């Protein structure tokens, strides 16, 4: 059900861990839904020089965390903010439809971590509030019922 690339990033996840002196830390998800992603960013002069993550979740959640951290390393925070869940899923060779919501988590974790960085830097984050609202289980349930 998973592509080879997803399985590779699941079995050999890149960038697992924590960054003790991270400039930005973001956590999204909910244990009730079965997935939580926590992302740590080391940012120098507006560039993400290192990214690490810890994830509680399924194969797709781990693989998207791994891929997302790979994708943002070396990018400026502005560039990283433009990374979409779709781009993460595509970089993994696609995800099964029922797992697409896991890729939202990766996008939101990046945004939550950058938002934290902005706050610490005293940079206004008004334009980010909506993006880093954190996904809620109930919303997804509702969205799925509406389908």
Partner 1 sequence: MRERFVYLDHASTTPVRPEVLEAMLPYFTQKYGNASSLYSIGRESKKAMEEARIKVAAALGAQPGEIYFTGSGTEADNWAIKGAAYANRKKGKHIITSAIEHHAVLHTCQYLEREGFEVTYLPVNEKGLVSPDDVRAAIRDDTVLISIMFANNEIGTIQPIAEIGKIAGEKGVYFHTDAVQAVGNVEINVSGMGIDLLSLSGHKFYGPKGVGALYVRKGVKITSFMHGGGQERGRRASTENIPAIVGLGKAIELATLDMEERNQKLIALRDRTINEVLKRIPHVRLNGDRQRRLPGNVNFSFEYIEGESLLLMLDMKGIAASSGSACTSGSLDPSHVLLAIGLPHEVAHGSLRLTFGEENTQEDVDYLLEVLPGIVERLRAMSPLYEEKEGSQCTVKK
Residue 33 designated active-site:
yes
- If binding is defined by CB under 8 A, does position 98 make contact with partner 1? yes
In the structure encoding, which two tokens stand for residue 144, read together?
Answer: 């799925």
Q: Which is nearer to partner 1, 52 or 121 (CB)?
A: 52
Per-residue x/- mask for partner 1, residues 45 to 74, rule CB under 8 A?
A: ---------xxxxxxxxx------------
Residue 102 designated active-site:
yes
Q: Per-residue DSSP letters for 46-111? A: TEEEEEEEEEES-HHHHHHHHHHHHHHTTSBHHHHHT--HHHHHHHTT---GGGHHHHHHHHHHHH
Q: Which is nearer to partner 1, 17 or 46 (CB)?
A: 17
CA distance 71 to 73: 6
Q: Residue 91 Cβ, how far from partner 1 at the closest point, in Å?
A: 20
Q: Residue 8 Cβ, how far from partner 1 at the closest point, in Å?
A: 11
Which of 33, 58, 133, 137 is the catalytic position? 33
Name the region of 39 (left: φ>0; alpha: ψ -120 to 50; beta: rest): beta
What are the φ and ψ backbone dihedral angles of 123, each rounded to 5 degrees? -90, 130
Residues that bind partner 1 (CB under 8 A): 2, 7, 10-11, 13, 16, 27, 31-38, 54-62, 98-99, 137, 140-141, 144
């Amino acid at each position: 059900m998973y592509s080879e690339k997803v399985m590779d990033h699941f079995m050999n996840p890149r960038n697992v861990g924590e960054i003790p002196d991270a400039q930005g830390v973001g956590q999204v998800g909910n244990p009730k839904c079965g997935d939580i992603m926590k992302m740590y960013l080391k940012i120098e002069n507006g560039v993400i020089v290192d990214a690490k993550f810890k994830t509680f979740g399924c194969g797709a959640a781990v693989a998207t965390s791994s891929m997302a951290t790979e994708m943002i390393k070396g990018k400026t925070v502005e560039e990283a903010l433009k990374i979409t869940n779709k781009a993460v899923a595509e970089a993994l060779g696609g995800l099964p439809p029922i797992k697409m919501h896991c890729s939202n988590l990766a996008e939101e974790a990046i945004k939550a971590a950058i938002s934290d960085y902005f706050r610490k830097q005293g940079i206004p984050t008004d334009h980010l509030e909506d993006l880093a609202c954190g996904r809620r289980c109930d919303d997804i349930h509702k969205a799925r019922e509406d389908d």
